[in-house]
Structure 1
Amino acid sequence: MAEVLVDSLRFHVQRLPVPDTGGEPPGPAVVFLHGLVVDNLSSFYCPLAVPAARAGHEVVLHDLRGHGMSERPRTGYDSRTAVADLVGLLRALGLAGRPVHLVGNSYGATLALHTALARPGLVAGLTLLEPPSSGPWVENMVDTLSVAALSLEDSPVPAELSSLRLRKAARLTAIADSLLNHTSLIDDIASGRAFGPADYARLRCPVLVVCGEHSELVPGARELARYAPECTLRILPGLGHDVLKESSGVLRESVLAHLAAVAGRTAREGVPVR
């Protein structure tokens, strides 16, 4: 476990051991971006991060601003600041001069897309799990978070969970309350714009999109795959918005194959970072 300062803000980071490349130039570091509120870097650890490291990739996980064990300022939960946080974190880790492969789940996939569009030379590849890219998703998420915020305001639940020694549940509930009721997170998400075909057409790296068959995000994923120049879409049967938790075997094989393909391409062609 490590703490990294980015513009005086403390981020919780885990960096899995750098594999022995035998003197070969390292491929893109694989950076994992988790979802909203009660999610944190641990959701990736066993399903994808450890397998990626064992396959020879350099792996970086971190808790997003305000999440998990990272510092929780009152503001700065908009996409532009999230991209700046990521770029600053990579710089602090000594990775600013190398391309990276971003793996994002749910809202983390949105942040990965924003980064690839804002800093195309930085991103060698994208792996997007259940990417929420449409306007209706933003509206639904804001409504859901607003209802959750009201239910947590002045709620006795965290204290009750602590009294029952359910420490993890109490901690996650307290984090959710802090994020939803004491930061600009909901307003920042509400002010974000949806992606469209023109955005997807500007992507300049290979993209893998994975969605559950019953996910409400499938139409948006199909649109992304239709307009992005190099995009592979995988729809996993029988699943909804839970592919990271419920489909570790199939998901792991698909993601590792994509990581290897992007690493091989980067080694052959190189990716300029700017």
Structure 2
Amino acid sequence: MAEILANALRFHVQRLPASEVPAPEGTSGGRATPVVFLHGLVVDNLSSFYCPLAVPLARAGHEVVLYDLRGHGLSERPPSGYDSRTAVRDLFALLSALGLDSRPVHLVGNSYGGTLALHAALARPGLVAGLTLLEPPLSGPWVENMVDTLSVAALSLEDSEVPAELASLRLRKAAKLTAIADALLNGTTLIDDVAAGRTFTPADYRAVDCPVLVVCGEHSELVPGARELVRHAPSGALRILPGLGHDVLKEASGVLREAVLAHAAAVRRARAGALIT
């Protein structure tokens, strides 16, 4: 476990070194693209990625970085700054602090983390070699629904005895996650910041200058937005997982792992080809 100061904030970071593996066919060798993970909102944190994706990618030769977004997990929780622009500044500052801002990285974002990854690719295209977006919320209706859901959750947690009751039952992990959710929803500007976030346009998607893989569950309400992104992005692909809804990271880890590893290898090949050219 490491604590890194970036953008005047303390972030909890896990870094997995790359295993020594042969370069994939079609590349000229060299280091694989570092992979950086961005998780979802409120009850999510870096641990969601660890076993399903992070360890397999490290074993495939990629340096892996996982971190808790501001206010989440073990990272510092300031009262404000939960808008996408600040989150992207956090990411860039963290990459600089880790010495990873001198070569492009591959961003993997789950749910709201996918939104942040896309914002980052648009803000600094030269720094992002590839995108893997798992159930990314891209449209206005999702934002409205999420704000409503978070607002209801905030009211239910305000002055609630649930965290104490969970702790008394020795359900420490559940108690901790509930306490973090309460602190985020009732003690920060997170809900207002999410509500004020802008949605993406076809022009944004056309400006994405890297290979993009979007993965959604068949029954997810986010599929139409994913199709719109892939329709306009210069190099986009959509993988629909049958029978699933929003939580593909937990429900389809085997299939998802294969898809993400394949896309990471494709990004590496594209990167190697660009360097040769």
Match of 2:269 in 1: 264
Tell me, in whole angstroms, the C-alpha distance in 2 between the residues paired with 1:235 and 1:78: 29
Amino acid at match of 2:15: R
TM-aligned CA deviation for residue 18 of structure 1: 3.1
Kept in 2, the 8 Å contact 1:27–1:267? The answer is: no
3-state SS of 1:61 partner: strand
TM-aligned CA deviation for residue 245 of structure 1: 0.4
Are 2:68 and 1:63 aligned?
yes
Q: Matches of residues 105-254 of structure 1 in structure 2 within 5 Å?
A: 105-254=110-259
TM-aligned CA deviation for residue 186 of structure 1: 0.4
Amino acid at match of 1:180: L
Tell me, in whole angstroms, the C-alpha distance in 1 between the residues paired with 2:275 and 2:128: 12
TM-aligned CA deviation for residue 101 of structure 1: 0.2
Match of 1:42 in 2: 47
Kept in 2, the 8 Å contact 1:27–1:266? The answer is: no
3-state SS of 1:60 partner: strand
Tell me, in whole angstroms, the C-alpha distance in 2 between the residues paired with 1:107 and 1:37: 10
Alpha-carbon RMSD across the aligned residues, in angstroms, is 1.3
3-state SS of 1:121 partner: helix
TM-aligned CA deviation for residue 27 of structure 1: 2.4
Amino acid at match of 2:4: V
Kept in 2, the 8 Å contact 1:120–1:203? The answer is: yes
Identity %: 78
Tell me, in whole angstroms, the C-alpha distance in 1 between the residues paired with 2:135 and 2:201: 16
Tell me, in whole angstroms, the C-alpha distance in 2 between the residues paired with 1:18 and 1:52: 8
TM-aligned CA deviation for residue 12 of structure 1: 0.3
Task: State the TM-score, normalizing by the size of structure 1.
Answer: 0.96
Amino acid at match of 1:158: P
Tell me, in whole angstroms, the C-alpha distance in 1 between the residues paired with 2:241 and 2:190: 31
Over 3 Å counting, the alpha-carbon distance change for 1:136 and 1:22 in structure 2 is closer
| Equivalent of 1:78 in 83, 91, 99 | 83
Stretches of structure 1 that go unaligned for 5 or more consecutive residues are: none
Kept in 1, the 8 Å contact 2:21–2:60? The answer is: no
Tell me, in whole angstroms, the C-alpha distance in 2 between the residues paired with 1:19 and 1:51: 10
Tell me, in whole angstroms, the C-alpha distance in 1 between the residues paired with 2:153 and 2:244: 24
Task: State the TM-score, normalizing by the size of structure 2.
Answer: 0.95
Stretches of structure 2 that go unaligned for 5 or more consecutive residues are: 24-28
Tell me, in whole angstroms, the C-alpha distance in 2 between the residues paired with 1:64 and 1:25: 30
Kept in 2, the 8 Å contact 1:100–1:122? The answer is: yes
Match of 2:26 in 1: none
Tell me, in whole angstroms, the C-alpha distance in 2 between the residues paired with 1:235 and 1:53: 25
Alignment coverage as a number of residue pairs: 271
TM-aligned CA deviation for residue 267 of structure 1: 1.8
